[in-house]
Structure 1
Amino acid sequence: MKPFRIRLTLIMMVLIGISMIGAGITMAKLFKDSHITALEENMSREIKLLSGTLQFTDMNSADAVSYYTDQAKLISQLTNSRITFITREGKVIGDSEKNPLEMDNHSTREEEVIAAKEGIGRAIRYSDTLDREMLYVAGAVRSEDGFDGYIRLSMGLDAVTEGLNRAWMIMAGGLVLLFVAATFVSYKVASSMTSPLEQITRVARRITDLDYDARVPIQRRDEVGQLAKAINAMADSLQAQLKTIRDNEDLLQSVLDNMTGGIVMINAEGEFALLNKASERMLDVKNSEMAGHSYKELKHHYELARLIEEGVERNEPIHEERSIYTPAERIVRLDGVPMVQDGSYRGMLFLLQEVTEIRRLEKMRSEFVANVSHELKTPVAAVKGFAETLLGGGVTDEKTARSFLQIIYDENERLNRLIGDILELSKIESKRVQLECSPVHLIEFFDSILGTLSKVAEKKKISLSTNVPNELFIEGDEDKLRQIFMNLLSNAINYTHDGGSVKVTAVNKQKADGTETVVFTVSDTGMGIPRKDLPRIFERFYRVDKARSRSSGGTGLGLSIVKHLVELHRGTITVESDLGIGSSFILELPLLQEDGE
């Protein structure tokens, strides 16, 4: 047993050494991180203090560099750190260590990039100017006195490195002492363990041979005694292990019951062995009724039963889709694999997944691609045709040639608008558009929009009016809101006959749950929308009057973009219309946007 004793001693020493080194590395990292964090917080507070107390001057003035350089040197003496004043464009206009005119543009420095987004930016890197590792903290500052940029403080990390080196020296000394003590203690422990190990091994072998009456007659309080107690408890634990097995079976059953996909198991005799709850709901059957019955009794799903039969008879993996009716049509994907255990065939296992919604979305995507191709082809073909006519010399009349060129120009503009709308819709649907919310004064907001559209309305002698409370504000992304109402009002003007009217109203409303909303109504006296077209009016490329839409320069994506932007604001949009009387688009938007949205 002596070699074993020596090996055990060495193993214990190695484990202790690894633990000590691991603890040392962890403590060193914690020490460094906490110290750097404290420095960052102090420097952030100093920047905020400077932004509130420093006398700023116009950074575009002739003496701005000299002024901010003097200020940087003065503050550097007080804070014992390097001070740098930087414009929004990254130009250094003041530094306590170097001539600003000789310094590179700082717009791409990590701390400035983060500060531009979050207000405060931090970074650690090696400084070529000072030839050492530095901590940089930059804060975005804007002053009414003409300063709009960043104040950056930087400080060397020499103190942190020195403290870390001292900690390593102390830990190294402790490790040597610990190794000496561990050698002595480990040897003693190994000596006390080796003598009863043979007896414990003999008892363990008897228990392995299913002799659960075997016990270790050792009464000690050390680790060997604990091992003996553990072996003695092994037989008693078998019952608990069997209970655990049953619990695991219950857990497996719970997993099967709560799966969203259906599981169907057919045994080697072609009988239902298992149907989970999802498959029961999907096939409208009960496991208790189908268990032990042939899969051929699944008569009301004939196509699915045929597919299961094919998999069972061939004993090969199968991956197909079929439609079932319960009573509505549902598309189900069936994945089947044979169950083989120890070389013997045990039956087939089928996974049923409803893919109705996925296929619907794929169809919509296919239709969208087809519509895009068609919409792109029309202006391209027009441009090509008129350009070929001009290039072929078939038009000698200057007036006709200019009309052809105007058509080419108009079609190119339409193509640009179409591509722009497609890209905008793609960004919105991929959730890459973030709201930049701020309070919007609605009366000023709509005055601006109507002023933009007034000339178009005047050409058709259409009156534009608003009914918006003067004191009403709403929180939202003003650019996105402008895009919504510009689309709706432009459509209203385009589809309203000469001499008609277009009106915008806004009403503050309180819902039953206490939240406040603003209900907007954009109404016109235009041609109206047929009732059959109302459910599809917000679909991409869907047009009620295709000829009128194209002649007005519409891309067919405007209302789809509007709907997505409204939903991005957590709002809703509906439409009401009467043929020959007019249409009303009703938007309901929250008065305030929730944080994090």
Structure 2
Amino acid sequence: MRPFRVRLTFILMSLIGISMIGAGFTMAHLFKDSHISALEENMSREINILEGTFKFQDMNAPDAYSYYTNQSRKIAKLTDSRVTFITKDGRVIGDSEKDPLLMDNHSNREEEIIAAKEGIGRAIRYSDTLEREMLYVAGKVTSEQTYDGYIRLSMGLDDVDEGINRAWMIMAGGLILLFIAATLVSYKVASSMTSPLEQITRVARRITDLDYDARVTMKRKDEIGQLATAINAMADSLQTQLKTIRDNEDLLQSVLDNMTGGILMVNETGQVALLNRAAERMLDVDNNEMSGRSFLELKRHYELTRLVEDGISRKEPIHEERSIYNPGERIIRLDGVPMTQDGSYRGMLFLLQEVTDIRRLEKMRSEFVANVSHELKTPVAAVKGFAETLLGGGVTDEKTARSFLQIIYDENERLNRLIGDILELSKIESKRAHLVCSPIHLSTFFDSVLETMSKVAEKKKISLSAEVPEELFIEGDEDKLRQIFMNLLSNAINYTHDGGNVRVIAVNKQKEDGSESVVFTVRDTGMGIPRKDLPRIFERFYRVDKARSRSSGGTGLGLSIVKHLVELHRGVISVESNLGIGTSFLLELPLLQEDEEY
């Protein structure tokens, strides 16, 4: 226990300090109120003077903004305050500090609302434009038919704050001197009795701050010595227990951090108690920021938040899927269970699992099966129908019979092409297609490709040509490159009118990083592709003109195969088209393939 004099000194020091602080607050408040009142009266008088002397101009005139802005700046220099002209509907037409065209509507400002009712309005608030606290005084002003609105003056409260700060500094200095004097008087009296307790207190605080190695080194046999021994024993026990707790926490944290599914724990008051790393990535939030805050702050994931809220309100297990956008669409499966302890509700535990890829694959598989079934059904039905007609003896004319047999043959060929394309696409998409790269002389390569396509082009009197530098080589899989350009040229010929032309251009390109690539352009003068169809032409079974595609024997898989083969070569493909003018496919392939196993 401290001596009476020490306690009395402490009480007196406290009373003096409280009295000085209270007086300081009172003086500061009175000083600030009186100074602000004086500023308000002065600014009100200045507004009244402006109303009587200022030459107002029509607010709707073309040069109203520049006129009132210039005038506000002149008046601001005379009044040492910010000047703003505001129309009755809150539109700023002149301001001495900022371009009025960039300022928002002021109809909801406190001073304008009061001025509309009482003639003069006042308000104090922080200005985002000037970044300091400002006093605003607005006066309602009407001048014949030219001006109907408000004149607002504003002034910073820096001088008021500076005066208050000086008063606080004087008071703080006096308080410090008083404490120093009182401390010197009481120190010698109290030190002999309080020193051991202070040592124990320091050790206790170190233990509180999780420093469990701290110990009291005091060797006394009185009550203080017994207290020191008890503190040391407590530290030993805490150190042992803490190690066990930390080991368990580390194990649990390791499990949570390495889970592929997200964990969201919400306590009974609706606050976020835990988010593991997977949940942080899914929701794009930070556990440190969200911990202890309401789960409703996940509001940008509205559907997910509403589902969590529904589970918390019903306190029942939930198993649902929702889409979130972060930044693209992601499908999240949410499984929630209520947490209970000793029969009491403690919150909800949610498991978040991203199933976007699974659902996308399911959808792709379903669409693929539907498309394949539809595409297979057409030639099979044709073959069956014409075969039944022939078998039934309904066709006696040999010419008609031969035309039926030719149709059966053509449909069979189409069916074979479709099956072959499906198998090829499946092989590429399953990563079972490998590149067998070798140097390819492009001029010779395109001579061979164009020769293969020449007969088809001659039937439609289409001109085929290639512009390829004689010295240009590229590294790639020749068979797959042939498949790429055969598909593109076949499409170009099929969709080009008789007498048109199809051209292949190859150009060497030097990139900024020093690497080289070859840009190929397959250009035709065909019917073109509508703009709305361009983003989808590389999808499987997508056709711009379904009737024309089927009549030409197309399977709808050619461009999809081309895109996959280009990407297999680490290249990119794009398309440009104008209706009635033609289409250009642009391929950019690296000159050299990277040295790795394909």
TM-score band, normalised by shorter chain: 0.5 to 0.7
Structure 1 residue 291 displacement after superposition: 4.9
**1:493 aligns to 2:493 (yes or no):** yes
Structure 1 residue 367 displacement after superposition: 1.9
Q: Which amino acid aligns with 2:349?
A: L
- Alignment CA distance shift 1:325-1:537 (3 Å): closer
**Aligned counterparts of 1:455 and 1:510: Cα–Cα separation in 2:** 36
**1:507 aligns to 2:539 (yes or no):** no
Structure 1 residue 517 displacement after superposition: 0.8
**Aligned counterparts of 1:257 and 1:474: Cα–Cα separation in 2:** 47
Alignment of 1:308-319 (within 5 A): 308=308, 311-312=311-312, 317-319=317-319
Match of 1:445 in 2: 445
**Aligned counterparts of 1:563 and 1:367: Cα–Cα separation in 2:** 19
Match of 2:32 in 1: none
Match of 2:390 in 1: 390
Match of 2:169 in 1: none
Structure 1 residue 323 displacement after superposition: 3.3
**Aligned counterparts of 1:456 and 1:277: Cα–Cα separation in 2:** 59
Match of 1:428 in 2: 428
Structure 1 residue 438 displacement after superposition: 0.9
Match of 1:381 in 2: 381
Aligned residues: 363
Secondary structure at the counterpart of residue 553 of structure 2: coil
Match of 2:7 in 1: none
Q: TM-score, normalised by structure 2?
A: 0.55
Q: Percent of pairs identical after alignment? A: 85
Deviations 1:234-257 (A, max 9, x none): x99994884585477468658757
Match of 1:521 in 2: 521
Match of 1:538 in 2: 538
Deviations 1:267-291 (A, max 9, x none): 3566532234654665577756765
Deviations 1:148-180 (A, max 9, x none): xxxxxxxxxxxxxxxxxxxxxxxxxxxxxxxxx
**Aligned counterparts of 1:458 and 1:304: Cα–Cα separation in 2:** 61
Structure 1 residue 549 displacement after superposition: 0.9
- Alignment CA distance shift 1:296-1:577 (3 Å): closer
Structure 1 residue 329 displacement after superposition: 5.6
Which runs of 5 or more structure 1 residues have no equivalent in the other structure? 1-234
**Aligned counterparts of 2:464 and 2:297: Cα–Cα separation in 1:** 69
Match of 2:11 in 1: none
Match of 1:331 in 2: 331
Structure 1 residue 491 displacement after superposition: 0.9
Alignment of 1:192-207 (within 5 A): none
Structure 1 residue 343 displacement after superposition: 8.4
Match of 1:322 in 2: 322
Deviations 1:485-534 (A, max 9, x none): 11111111111111111111111111111111111111111111111111
Secondary structure at the counterpart of residue 533 of structure 1: helix
Secondary structure at the counterpart of residue 424 of structure 2: helix
Moved more, 344-353 or 367-376: 344-353
Q: Which amino acid aligns with 1:366?
A: S
**1:569 aligns to 2:569 (yes or no):** yes
Which runs of 5 or more structure 2 residues have no equivalent in the other structure? 1-234
**Aligned counterparts of 1:286 and 1:345: Cα–Cα separation in 2:** 26
- Alignment CA distance shift 1:285-1:466 (3 Å): closer
Match of 1:359 in 2: 359
**Aligned counterparts of 1:321 and 1:339: Cα–Cα separation in 2:** 21
Secondary structure at the counterpart of residue 414 of structure 1: helix
- Alignment CA distance shift 1:493-1:266 (3 Å): same
Match of 1:409 in 2: 409
- Alignment CA distance shift 1:425-1:302 (3 Å): closer
Q: TM-score, normalised by structure 1?
A: 0.55
**Aligned counterparts of 2:485 and 2:427: Cα–Cα separation in 1:** 19
**Aligned counterparts of 1:346 and 1:399: Cα–Cα separation in 2:** 85
Secondary structure at the counterpart of residue 431 of structure 1: coil
Structure 1 residue 262 displacement after superposition: 3.3
Secondary structure at the counterpart of residue 370 of structure 2: helix
Structure 1 residue 444 displacement after superposition: 0.9
Q: Which amino acid aligns with 2:488?
A: L
Secondary structure at the counterpart of residue 273 of structure 2: strand
Moved more, 264-273 or 582-591: 264-273
Match of 2:481 in 1: 481
- Alignment CA distance shift 1:503-1:328 (3 Å): closer
Alignment of 1:551-590 (within 5 A): 551-590=551-590
**Aligned counterparts of 1:379 and 1:507: Cα–Cα separation in 2:** 41
Deviations 1:32-79 (A, max 9, x none): xxxxxxxxxxxxxxxxxxxxxxxxxxxxxxxxxxxxxxxxxxxxxxxx
Deviations 1:297-337 (A, max 9, x none): 87776654554356457766532102346797643210224
Secondary structure at the counterpart of residue 586 of structure 1: strand
**Aligned counterparts of 1:438 and 1:289: Cα–Cα separation in 2:** 55
**Aligned counterparts of 1:441 and 1:326: Cα–Cα separation in 2:** 46
**Aligned counterparts of 2:579 and 2:454: Cα–Cα separation in 1:** 25
**Aligned counterparts of 2:517 and 2:241: Cα–Cα separation in 1:** 60
**Aligned counterparts of 1:326 and 1:515: Cα–Cα separation in 2:** 34
- Alignment CA distance shift 1:237-1:582 (3 Å): farther
Q: Which amino acid aligns with 1:382?
A: A
Moved more, 332-341 or 439-448: 332-341
Structure 1 residue 260 displacement after superposition: 6.5
**Aligned counterparts of 2:463 and 2:376: Cα–Cα separation in 1:** 35
**Aligned counterparts of 1:315 and 1:409: Cα–Cα separation in 2:** 66
**Aligned counterparts of 1:551 and 1:300: Cα–Cα separation in 2:** 50
Secondary structure at the counterpart of residue 407 of structure 1: helix
Match of 1:370 in 2: 370
- Alignment CA distance shift 1:510-1:413 (3 Å): same
Secondary structure at the counterpart of residue 444 of structure 1: helix
Secondary structure at the counterpart of residue 573 of structure 1: strand
Q: Which amino acid aligns with 1:332?
A: I
Moved more, 335-344 or 509-518: 335-344
Secondary structure at the counterpart of residue 446 of structure 2: helix
